[in-house]
């Protein structure tokens, strides 16, 4: 491939890619932050054969979009982790890196770019909004990106992700709800932290009725879709 398969993207191929295994196709989109000094530094690393990491896309703070791996290929962005009982997330996903240090707000231009990129991906691969997940969702305790400053509610308002409704049961068992949503079977405190990182940023303490209601609502939404 010598050109991007996304209009407006700059083609900057990475050698760190290969065929998706077992005939798998993308069923998820995994969002990351770069946590590097600049988009240029991130691009160099994602295309460095020695680093052995890559992603399909990188979005700069000014909205510049680079494509490094064809959508049909397997990029090396997710690492170890699981979602909805499935492993080898690299073979099942599109990876999008966003230029951000992990502590700063995400720039308006890059959010707008993400909001133009996601609809095409979801349509092409028939991915439901619940299939747009955080790196921290599939790797609790190991990863924290895209972090507490990322505006998931904004994506959900556009139908590009999910957000809890007000119909959740505050007495529903949290562990069962997190299983139904897709969180992997790691220590309960790690799963709770990953869930809160996305849906209740910076909230701490033992699980409470709000956690249980939010998780139950999301579990009901997730079960509407078959991955």
Same-domain status, 51 and 85? yes
In a domain, 101, yes or no: yes
Give per-residue pLDDT as tens, 168-188: 999 999 999 999 999 999 999
Bond before 62 cis per omega within 30 degrees: no
Cα separation, 81 vs 23, in Å, equals 20
Q: How many residues does the chain have?
A: 227
Mean pLDDT, residues 73-84 taken together: 96
Nearest CA to 133 among 165, 93, 186?
93
Cα separation, 24 vs 154, in Å, equals 30
In a domain, 163, yes or no: no
Partner residues linked to 132 by β-bridges: 29
In a domain, 70, yes or no: yes
| pLDDT level of residue 222 (50, 70, 90 thresholds) | confident
Sheet holding 93-98, edge to edge: 10-11, 65-67, 57-59, 93-98, 28-33, 132-134
pLDDT for residue 224 is more than 90: no
pLDDT for residue 9 is more than 80: yes
Q: Where in the sequence is the domain holding 179, given as residue range(s)?
A: 174-222
Total domains in the fold of the chain = 2
Query: Chain-wide mean pLDDT for the chain?
Result: 95
Radius of gyration of the chain (CA): 17
Burial 171-198 (b: 16+ CB within 10 A, else e): ebebbebbbbbbbbeeeeebbbbbbbbb
| pLDDT level of residue 4 (50, 70, 90 thresholds) | confident
Note the Cα 220 to chain centre separation in Å. Answer: 20
106: which DSSP letter? P
Give per-residue pLDDT as tens, 99-145: 999 999 999 999 999 999 999 999 999 999 999 999 999 999 999 99
Same-domain status, 112 and 178? no
In a domain, 3, yes or no: no
pLDDT for residue 227 is more than 60: no
In a domain, 35, yes or no: yes
| pLDDT level of residue 221 (50, 70, 90 thresholds) | confident
pLDDT for residue 95 is more than 90: yes
Q: What was the pLDDT predicted at 46? A: 98
pLDDT for residue 3 is more than 90: no
| pLDDT level of residue 7 (50, 70, 90 thresholds) | confident
Share of the chain above pLDDT 90, in %: 93
Q: What was the pLDDT predicted at 172? A: 98
Q: What was the pLDDT predicted at 194? A: 98
The Cα angle at residue 16 between residues 147 and 127, in degrees rounded to 5: 55
Question: Which residues, other chains included, contact 89 with Cβ-Cβ below 8 Å and sequence gap of 6+?
Answer: 28, 30, 78, 81, 82, 83, 138
Q: What was the pLDDT predicted at 2? A: 59
Q: What was the pLDDT predicted at 5? A: 85
In a domain, 167, yes or no: no
Same-domain status, 146 and 184? no
- Other beta carbons less than 10 A from residue 216's beta carbon: 23
Give catalytic status of residue 97 as yes or no. Answer: yes
| pLDDT level of residue 225 (50, 70, 90 thresholds) | low
86: which DSSP letter? B
Tokens of 134: 């955080």
In a domain, 4, yes or no: no
């Amino acid at each position: 491939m010598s050109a991007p398969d996304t209009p407006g993207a700059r083609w900057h191929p990475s050698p760190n890619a290969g065929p998706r295994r077992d005939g798998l196709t993308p069923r998820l989109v995994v969002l990351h932050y770069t946590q590097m000094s600049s988009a240029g530094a991130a691009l160099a690393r994602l295309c460095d054969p020695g680093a052995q990491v890559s992603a399909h896309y990188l979005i700069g703070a000014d909205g510049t979009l680079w494509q490094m791996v064809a959508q049909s290929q397997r990029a090396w962005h997710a690492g170890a982790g699981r979602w909805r009982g499935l492993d080898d997330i690299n073979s099942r996903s599109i990876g999008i890196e966003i230029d951000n240090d992990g502590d700063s707000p995400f720039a308006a231009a890059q959010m707008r770019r993400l909001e133009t990129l996601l609809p095409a991906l979801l349509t092409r691969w028939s991915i439901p909004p619940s299939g747009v997940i955080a790196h921290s969702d599939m790797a609790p305790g190991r990863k924290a990106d895209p972090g507490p400053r990322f505006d998931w509610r904004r994506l959900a308002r556009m139908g590009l992700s999910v957000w809890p409704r007000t119909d959740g049961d505050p007495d529903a068992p949290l562990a069962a709800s997190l299983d139904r949503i897709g969180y992997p079977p790691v220590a309960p405190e790690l799963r709770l932290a990953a869930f809160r990182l996305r849906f209740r940023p910076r909230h701490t303490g033992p699980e409470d009725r709000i956690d249980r209601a939010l998780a139950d609502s999301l579990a009901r939404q997730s079960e509407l879709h078959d991955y």
